[in-house]
Amino acid sequence: MANDAQPSRLTPRIVAAFRPYSGRVTAVGLLILVTAGLGVVNPVLIQVVFDSALFPEGGPNLNLLWLLGGIMAAITVVTGGLGIVQTFLTNQVGQRVMRDLRDTLYRHLQSLSLGFFTGTRTGEIQSRVANDVGGVQRVVTNTVSDVLSNTVILISTLIAMLVLSWELTIVAVGTAPFFFLLSKLVGAKRRAVAAETQQSTAEVTAITQETLSISGIMLAKLFGRQSREIERFHQENQKLSDLVIRQQMTGQSFFTLMQIFFSLSPVVIYLLAGYLLTGGGANALSPGTIVAFTTLQSRLYFPIGRLLEVSVELQASMALFERIFGYLDIPAEIVDAPDAIELAPEQVAGAIKFDSVRVNYAAHREVSLPQGNPPEPAWANGSPATGSNGAESGGPTDAETRWALDDVSFDIRPGQLAAFVGPSGAGKTTISYLIPRLYDATEGSISIDGVDVRRIKLTSLAGLIGYVTQESYLFHATIRDNLLYGNPRASREELEAAATAAYIHDRIIQFPDGYDTVVGERGYRLSGGERQRLSIARVILHQPRLLILDEATSALDTASERYVQSALEPLMRGRTTVAIAHRLSTIIAADVIYVIDQGHLVEQGAHTELLARGGLYARLYEEQFEGGQVECYCEDGVVMTDGNIVYSDSEAGALA
């Protein structure tokens, strides 16, 4: 990773970012040339003003003075005008480059697999998109034009100085190499501090994001950990504040030294001129020449100083570019194959086949970032700090090399309801993630209607699948907008029909703003059951061919669960459904039940068969449903049981 930090590697990438704006960059370059060239005219004219207009042998020449004054004024005005155009173009290029960088970063992040997001804190990601890109903004906007304009000023001034007096010029620029070396040292130090500062900024953002999100704030309140969170924030905030001070102060003595030297240098020139005149070795040194030279000299030092400063700033901004490119260099694992095909929903019958599938999450965690893995949160007291991205030192642990799924094969026929049951951590959710390619199998294949999912375009695959998760995620937007996420082209009637089918329409119209009610951050203004029914309505609008249900275990009360169940039934009808089943109703209604244990498919069959076999399923069933009150909602009615399970007519028939 250290190699990435080399400016030589970064420069072509930074230059490439400017390529689309080469026309405007050239225009800026030309403007800089013109203004910098015009900039040396006035100091040179000073010599003429002094020697030919103010103090010629025959007395002042007023006509020439007016002419020279006019030219000098015109040059100043023109230079100012061109400066405005140049500033506009520079800012425009800078802002466009930043926009492109943010877009590219966001697009790339969207393409990264779930593995990246499970291994990286959201705040860290936000910080790179906002703070790091923002951080290079100033450099991109100012530095590039600064380098150009100051280089041109430097060269033109040097030429003018050499023309006036080469002896004085040698003395004036003699100390430049010393400052150059010093600036390189200061630059390297600043760069290191800048990297640390950005990491600390990301940490503050991550803490804010984690602890001030609704879930985070609830957790802190419920465990009474607010003062601890405040302290944690304070500590990181303090660190950031110290780092920023360090960053500002690094090199300040260098800049001060430079300024003192520059302020004193005219004195050196006067002294040297005095000696040259006394020795009679510099006849060309007229008063006009000396005044013009010191004026040029002051013009020379500013660009030298600025260029040295810019080189220091550039070093610091390299740290930011490294962080941005670090994310861009993470390969998007799950992408469309070159020969990927579209599968039209109407062509899809809905067969799902897993063939010798193995999954190892560690294989998805080889995402390594260039630097700055934030430490584990403070609540993980006593545990060794590890990176947030899975790039820990010390190699993968046993848990990481374990197969989350091992040699899993099954065939779900079109229209079947397949229930997956098994103990916690068995691998059920992992199975559900593989179908929409949230992860790819490490080995083996998953196919829909005989087509490997890796050969189906991702957008097409997403169009085929509807996923109802345990925790229904809603955006902070209106109910309507959240529903339209399922199908942006849905009409009002379709929207209401979907909401009616999901048993949520009546509730929505009770809100004062109806469908225009804002659901609040992550939908927290709605109850758990309402959120789930909304998310079911969203999936109904999506019209998927395959349905994946990750059933909630205990998030809903009996009445809400009944509503949710009723909402799901029409959705499941005619669709292949993969259900991570926790509800008895789903298990009993399933065409086939797959029992997963420690990543293996250990049993499969219908409810009664599996029960009769007396294996893991029978044990799980006993533990989960026997001896407690169980409700079962089946098409022909709800049956309440107490202690012993009582089945509805159809189930009793099925069991017999």
Q: Which residues would be at the binding site for ligand ATP (CB under 6 A)?
A: 118, 361, 404, 422, 424-430
Nearest to 101, CA basis, from 139, 146, 142: 139
The residue (of 442 and 500) whose beta carbon lies closer to ligand ATP is 442
Question: At its nearest, how many Å lie between ligand ATP and the CB of residue 402?
Answer: 7
Residue number, 426 or 504, with CB nearest to ligand ATP: 426
Secondary structure class of 342 (helix, strand, coil): coil
CB of 537 to ligand ATP, least distance (A): 24
Q: State which residue, 24 or 600, has the beta carbon closest to ligand ATP.
A: 600
* Angstrom distance (rounded) from CA 145 to CA 44: 24
Minimum CB separation of residue 571 from ligand ATP in Å reads 21
Unique residue bearing structure tokens 């929207």: 495
Task: Give the nearest distance from C-beta 623 to ligand ATP in angstroms.
Answer: 14
Nearest to 539 by CA among 508, 515, 510, 504: 504
Beta carbons within 10 angstroms of residue 191's beta carbon: 23
Nearer to ligand ATP, 7 or 425 (CB): 425
CB of 400 to ligand ATP, least distance (A): 7
Instruction: Answer whether 483's CB lies under 8 Å from 534's CB.
Output: yes
CA-atom Rg of the chain in angstroms: 36
Q: Under a CB-based contact definition with an 8 Å cutoff, are residues 32 and 152 in contact? A: yes
**Nearest approach, Cβ of 136 to ligand ATP (angstroms)?**
32
Exposure string of 517-552, with b = 16+ CB inside 10 Å and e = fewer, is bbbeebbeebebbbbbbbbbbbbbbbbbbbbbbbbb
The smaller minimum CB distance to ligand ATP, of residues 118 and 558, is found at: 118
Name the residue nearer to ligand ATP (CB basis): 109 or 404: 404
Nearer to ligand ATP, 306 or 428 (CB): 428
Polymer length in residues for the chain: 656
Angle, helix 176-211 to helix 214-222, in steps of 10 degrees = 70
Under a CB-based contact definition with an 8 Å cutoff, are residues 446 and 357 in contact? yes
Q: Which is nearer to ligand ATP, 118 or 122 (CB)?
A: 118
Instruction: Please report how close the Cβ of residue 455 comes to ligand ATP at its closest, in angstroms.
Output: 24
Nearer Cβ to ligand ATP (93/426): 426
DSSP letter string over 477-511?
A: SBHHHHHHTT-TT--HHHHHHHHHHTT-HHHHTTS
Residue 436 Cβ vs ligand ATP, minimum distance, rounded to whole Å: 14
Shortest distance in whole angstroms from residue 421 CB to ligand ATP: 9
The residue to which tokens 């109904």 are assigned: 540
For residue 605, give both structure tokens: 């069959």
